[in-house]
Chains A and B, each alone.
Chain A
Amino acid sequence: EAGVTQSPTHLIKTRGQQVTLRCSPISGHTSVYWYQQALGLGLQFLLWYDEGEERNRGNFPPRFSGRQFPNYSSELNVNALELEDSALYLCASSSSLITGNYNEQFFGPGTRLTVL
Protein backbone atom coordinates (compact mmCIF):
# COMPACT_ATOMS: atom_id res chain seq x y z
CA GLU A 1 0.00 0.00 0.00
CA ALA A 2 1.42 3.37 -1.02
CA GLY A 3 2.06 5.87 1.72
CA VAL A 4 1.42 9.59 1.74
CA THR A 5 3.19 11.26 -1.14
CA GLN A 6 4.21 14.90 -1.46
CA SER A 7 5.60 16.99 -4.27
CA PRO A 8 7.92 18.63 -4.90
CA THR A 9 10.69 17.41 -2.59
CA HIS A 10 12.52 20.70 -2.55
CA LEU A 11 11.60 24.20 -3.63
CA ILE A 12 13.46 27.50 -3.70
CA LYS A 13 11.50 30.73 -4.01
CA THR A 14 12.12 34.42 -3.45
CA ARG A 15 10.26 36.78 -1.15
CA GLY A 16 6.88 37.84 -2.44
CA GLN A 17 6.39 34.82 -4.69
CA GLN A 18 3.64 32.26 -4.38
CA VAL A 19 4.05 28.50 -3.97
CA THR A 20 1.81 25.44 -4.24
CA LEU A 21 2.61 22.18 -2.50
CA ARG A 22 0.80 18.93 -3.23
CA CYS A 23 -0.16 15.89 -1.19
CA SER A 24 -1.79 12.56 -1.96
CA PRO A 25 -3.16 10.67 1.06
CA ILE A 26 -3.13 6.96 1.70
CA SER A 27 -5.90 5.24 -0.20
CA GLY A 28 -9.06 5.20 1.89
CA HIS A 29 -8.03 8.16 4.04
CA THR A 30 -10.23 11.23 3.75
CA SER A 31 -8.68 13.53 6.37
CA VAL A 32 -5.59 15.44 5.23
CA TYR A 33 -3.49 17.65 7.47
CA TRP A 34 -0.72 20.15 6.81
CA TYR A 35 2.05 21.02 9.25
CA GLN A 36 4.96 23.44 9.18
CA GLN A 37 8.27 22.47 10.77
CA ALA A 38 10.47 25.53 10.93
CA LEU A 39 13.87 25.51 12.58
CA GLY A 40 13.52 26.20 16.26
CA LEU A 41 9.72 26.28 16.21
CA GLY A 42 8.85 22.62 16.11
CA LEU A 43 5.87 21.13 14.30
CA GLN A 44 2.98 23.55 13.95
CA PHE A 45 -0.50 22.53 12.83
CA LEU A 46 -1.54 24.44 9.72
CA LEU A 47 -4.74 23.05 8.22
CA TRP A 48 -7.09 20.08 8.29
CA TYR A 49 -9.31 19.06 5.38
CA ASP A 50 -11.96 16.41 5.15
CA GLU A 51 -14.65 15.78 2.54
CA GLY A 52 -13.40 18.74 0.55
CA GLU A 53 -13.81 21.28 3.33
CA GLU A 54 -11.43 23.08 5.64
CA ARG A 55 -12.27 21.76 9.11
CA ASN A 56 -9.81 23.68 11.24
CA ARG A 57 -6.71 25.82 10.90
CA GLY A 58 -3.80 26.78 13.10
CA ASN A 59 -2.52 30.24 13.99
CA PHE A 60 -1.30 31.15 10.54
CA PRO A 61 -2.17 34.21 8.42
CA PRO A 62 -4.71 33.95 5.58
CA ARG A 63 -1.93 33.86 2.97
CA PHE A 64 -1.66 30.19 3.96
CA SER A 65 -4.56 28.42 2.30
CA GLY A 66 -5.37 25.21 0.57
CA ARG A 67 -7.98 22.93 -0.77
CA GLN A 68 -8.93 19.29 -0.98
CA PHE A 69 -10.02 17.67 -4.21
CA PRO A 70 -12.76 15.04 -4.74
CA ASN A 71 -10.07 12.31 -4.77
CA TYR A 72 -8.98 13.59 -1.31
CA SER A 73 -5.61 14.87 -2.51
CA SER A 74 -4.75 18.33 -1.27
CA GLU A 75 -2.84 21.47 -2.12
CA LEU A 76 -1.27 23.99 0.21
CA ASN A 77 -0.84 27.48 -1.19
CA VAL A 78 1.33 30.14 0.35
CA ASN A 79 1.11 33.66 -1.07
CA ALA A 80 3.46 36.59 -0.61
CA LEU A 81 6.27 34.42 0.69
CA GLU A 82 8.35 35.71 3.58
CA LEU A 83 11.79 34.59 4.71
CA GLU A 84 10.32 32.98 7.82
CA ASP A 85 8.18 30.69 5.66
CA SER A 86 11.33 28.65 5.03
CA ALA A 87 10.52 25.29 6.56
CA LEU A 88 9.72 21.64 6.00
CA TYR A 89 6.03 21.31 5.12
CA LEU A 90 4.58 17.98 6.10
CA CYS A 91 1.32 16.47 4.96
CA ALA A 92 -0.41 13.69 6.86
CA SER A 93 -3.54 11.65 6.35
CA SER A 94 -5.83 9.56 8.50
CA SER A 95 -9.17 7.87 8.38
CA SER A 96 -11.92 10.44 8.67
CA LEU A 97 -11.66 12.45 11.85
CA ILE A 98 -15.16 13.88 11.44
CA THR A 99 -16.57 10.49 12.39
CA GLY A 100 -14.99 11.02 15.79
CA ASN A 101 -12.19 8.47 15.44
CA TYR A 102 -9.00 10.08 16.65
CA ASN A 103 -6.64 7.72 14.90
CA GLU A 104 -2.97 7.91 14.05
CA GLN A 105 -1.80 10.18 11.30
CA PHE A 106 0.57 8.95 8.61
CA PHE A 107 3.06 11.46 7.31
CA GLY A 108 4.60 12.06 3.93
CA PRO A 109 8.31 12.81 3.41
CA GLY A 110 7.71 16.57 3.31
CA THR A 111 8.54 19.45 1.00
CA ARG A 112 11.54 21.54 1.95
CA LEU A 113 10.80 25.19 1.07
CA THR A 114 13.57 27.75 1.08
CA VAL A 115 12.66 31.42 0.69
CA LEU A 116 15.51 33.72 -0.33
Chain B
Amino acid sequence: SQQGEEDPQALSIQEGENATMNCSYKTSINNLQWYRQNSGRGLVHLILIRSNEREKHSGRLRVTLDTSKKSSSLLITASRAADTASYFCATYPSGGTSYGKLTFGQGTILTVHP
Protein backbone atom coordinates (compact mmCIF):
# COMPACT_ATOMS: atom_id res chain seq x y z
CA SER B 1 0.00 0.00 0.00
CA GLN B 2 1.13 3.55 -0.61
CA GLN B 3 2.38 5.47 2.40
CA GLY B 4 1.86 8.84 0.82
CA GLU B 5 -1.46 10.23 -0.27
CA GLU B 6 -1.49 13.25 -2.53
CA ASP B 7 -4.26 15.77 -2.68
CA PRO B 8 -5.74 16.78 -5.03
CA GLN B 9 -5.59 13.89 -7.50
CA ALA B 10 -5.81 16.38 -10.36
CA LEU B 11 -5.28 20.13 -10.61
CA SER B 12 -5.96 22.38 -13.59
CA ILE B 13 -4.73 25.98 -13.61
CA GLN B 14 -3.78 28.82 -15.95
CA GLU B 15 -0.21 29.85 -16.70
CA GLY B 16 1.07 32.31 -14.13
CA GLU B 17 -1.05 30.92 -11.30
CA ASN B 18 0.37 29.08 -8.32
CA ALA B 19 -0.16 25.35 -7.83
CA THR B 20 -0.27 23.71 -4.42
CA MET B 21 -0.17 19.97 -3.87
CA ASN B 22 -0.40 18.20 -0.55
CA CYS B 23 0.93 14.91 0.70
CA SER B 24 0.13 12.96 3.83
CA TYR B 25 1.96 9.93 5.16
CA LYS B 26 1.53 7.44 7.95
CA THR B 27 4.80 6.48 9.61
CA SER B 28 7.81 8.39 10.89
CA ILE B 29 10.23 9.30 8.16
CA ASN B 30 13.87 10.09 7.54
CA ASN B 31 13.05 12.43 4.67
CA LEU B 32 10.35 13.28 2.13
CA GLN B 33 11.03 13.84 -1.55
CA TRP B 34 9.04 15.27 -4.43
CA TYR B 35 9.36 14.00 -7.97
CA ARG B 36 7.89 14.97 -11.35
CA GLN B 37 6.96 12.58 -14.13
CA ASN B 38 6.16 13.66 -17.67
CA SER B 39 3.85 11.42 -19.72
CA GLY B 40 4.78 8.06 -18.18
CA ARG B 41 8.50 8.57 -18.53
CA GLY B 42 11.20 8.48 -15.87
CA LEU B 43 10.92 10.51 -12.69
CA VAL B 44 12.80 13.74 -12.15
CA HIS B 45 13.87 14.55 -8.61
CA LEU B 46 12.67 17.99 -7.51
CA ILE B 47 13.49 18.48 -3.86
CA LEU B 48 14.33 16.58 -0.67
CA ILE B 49 13.35 17.78 2.78
CA ARG B 50 14.68 16.05 5.87
CA SER B 51 12.58 15.29 8.93
CA ASN B 52 14.30 18.04 10.94
CA GLU B 53 13.56 20.70 8.31
CA ARG B 54 10.32 22.64 8.03
CA GLU B 55 10.66 24.48 4.73
CA LYS B 56 12.85 24.34 1.68
CA HIS B 57 13.05 26.36 -1.54
CA SER B 58 14.42 25.57 -4.98
CA GLY B 59 13.76 28.10 -7.72
CA ARG B 60 9.96 28.34 -8.13
CA LEU B 61 9.40 25.42 -5.77
CA ARG B 62 8.62 25.68 -2.08
CA VAL B 63 8.18 22.60 0.09
CA THR B 64 6.96 22.50 3.66
CA LEU B 65 7.00 19.60 6.07
CA ASP B 66 4.93 19.21 9.23
CA THR B 67 6.03 16.01 10.97
CA SER B 68 3.45 16.47 13.75
CA LYS B 69 0.68 16.29 11.14
CA LYS B 70 2.62 13.88 8.92
CA SER B 71 2.06 16.11 5.93
CA SER B 72 3.93 18.07 3.29
CA SER B 73 3.02 20.55 0.61
CA LEU B 74 4.62 21.48 -2.70
CA LEU B 75 4.01 24.97 -4.06
CA ILE B 76 4.92 25.84 -7.62
CA THR B 77 4.81 29.58 -8.16
CA ALA B 78 4.16 31.36 -11.47
CA SER B 79 3.39 28.09 -13.21
CA ARG B 80 4.24 27.45 -16.86
CA ALA B 81 2.76 25.11 -19.45
CA ALA B 82 5.99 23.10 -19.17
CA ASP B 83 5.10 22.32 -15.53
CA THR B 84 2.30 20.06 -16.79
CA ALA B 85 3.16 16.64 -15.34
CA SER B 86 2.37 14.20 -12.54
CA TYR B 87 3.89 15.06 -9.18
CA PHE B 88 4.67 12.45 -6.55
CA CYS B 89 5.73 12.65 -2.97
CA ALA B 90 7.90 9.84 -1.64
CA THR B 91 9.01 9.04 1.85
CA TYR B 92 11.99 7.21 3.30
CA PRO B 93 10.77 5.51 6.48
CA SER B 94 13.00 5.56 9.55
CA GLY B 95 14.56 2.12 9.43
CA GLY B 96 12.95 -1.19 10.37
CA THR B 97 11.85 -3.64 7.72
CA SER B 98 11.14 -0.72 5.41
CA TYR B 99 14.84 0.15 5.27
CA GLY B 100 15.63 1.48 1.82
CA LYS B 101 12.03 1.42 0.60
CA LEU B 102 11.21 4.78 -0.89
CA THR B 103 7.41 4.76 -0.78
CA PHE B 104 5.44 6.80 -3.29
CA GLY B 105 2.01 8.34 -3.18
CA GLN B 106 -0.50 8.05 -6.02
CA GLY B 107 0.44 11.42 -7.43
CA THR B 108 -1.22 14.68 -8.47
CA ILE B 109 -1.79 15.32 -12.16
CA LEU B 110 -1.10 19.01 -12.82
CA THR B 111 -2.29 20.63 -16.05
CA VAL B 112 -1.20 24.19 -16.77
CA HIS B 113 -3.12 25.85 -19.59
CA PRO B 114 -1.28 28.46 -21.72
**Contact call A107/B42, Cβ cutoff below 8 A:** yes
The answer for the CA separation of A105 and B48 in the assembled complex, in Å, is 10
Shortest Cβ gap from A32 to chain B (Å): 11
The answer for the CA separation of A56 and B93 in the assembled complex, in Å, is 13
Contacts of B90 in A (CB 8 A): 43
**Contact call A48/B45, Cβ cutoff below 8 A:** no
| Residues of chain A in range 66-116 having any CB-CB distance to chain B below 8 Å | 88, 90, 92, 97, 102-110, 112
- Total interface residues on B, CB under 8 Å, equals 26
**Contact call A104/B99, Cβ cutoff below 8 A:** no
The answer for the CA separation of A44 and B35 in the assembled complex, in Å, is 14
Which stretch of B63-71, B75-83, B101-109 is in the interface? B101-109
**Contact call A42/B107, Cβ cutoff below 8 A:** yes
For residue B10, CB closer than 8 A to chain A, the reply is: no
Contacts of A107 in B (CB 8 A): 35, 42-45
Write out, one digit per residue, whether chain B residues 21-40 have a CB within 8 A of any chain A CB (1) or not (0).
00000000011010100001
| 8 contacting pairs across A/B (C-beta < 8 A) | A31-B100, A35-B104, A45-B102, A55-B99, A56-B97, A56-B100, A102-B30, A108-B42
For the complex of A and B, list the 6 residue pairs with the smallest distance between their C-beta atoms, beginning with the closest: A43-B104, A107-B43, A109-B42, A107-B42, A48-B100, A102-B30
Q: Knowing that A33-B100, A97-B100 are A-B contacts, what are 11 other residue pairs whose CB atoms are under 8 Å apart, sorted by A's residue number?
A: A31-B100, A35-B104, A42-B105, A43-B43, A45-B103, A92-B43, A92-B102, A106-B45, A107-B43, A107-B45, A109-B42
